[in-house]
Amino acid sequence: MFSCSKSNNNNSASAKDSVLYSNWTPLNMSLLGVDPNSGDSVFGQEITAKAITKAIMDRGLVLMYVQGLDPNGDSVIQNAEALMTAYTYVGAIDLISDFVDYSGFNFRYVVIPGKTLINGVRDGGQTLSISELKTLDYDAATRVFNLPPATFPSVRSGSLPLRQTPALRLRQ
Q: How many CA atoms lie within 13 A of 56 on its CB side?
A: 24
Q: Degrees (nearest 5) of the Cα angle 65, 1, 102? A: 30
Task: Establish if 164 belongs to a structural domain.
Answer: no
Kindly state whether residue 169 falls inside one of the protein's structural domains: no
> Measuring CA to CA, which residue among 86, 63, 65, 62 is closest to residue 77?
65
For residue 155, being part of any structural domain is answered with: no
Q: Which range, 5-9, 73-77, 85-89, 96-100, has the best average confidence (pLDDT)?
A: 85-89
Among candidates 45, 103, 101, 106, which has minimal Cα distance to 77?
106
Residue 30 scores a pLDDT above 90: yes
Q: How many Cβ atoms from other residues are within 10 Å of residue 169's Cβ? A: 11
In a domain, 165, yes or no: no
Residue 66 covered by a domain: yes
pLDDT value, residue 36 = 87
Count the domains in the chain: 1
Residue 71 DSSP code: T
Task: Examine residue 59 and state whether it is found in any structural domain, yes or no.
Answer: yes
Model confidence at 1, pLDDT cuts 50, 70, 90, reads low
Least confident of 9-13, 75-79, 126-130, 146-150: 9-13
Which residue segment(s) compose the domain that 107 sits in?
Answer: 2-147
What are the pLDDT digits (tens) for 149-160? 877 654 455 556
| Distance separating the N- and C-terminal Cα atoms of the chain | 29
Outline where DSSP puts E strands in the chain. 2-4, 19-21, 25-26, 30-34, 41-49, 61-69, 75-79, 85-89, 91-98, 106-112, 121-123, 126-128, 156-157
| Residue 97 in this model has a pLDDT that exceeds 60 | yes
Q: Please give the Cα distance from 79 to 66 (Å, whole number).
A: 6
107 neighbors 24 (Cβ within 8 angstroms): yes
Any domain includes 167: no
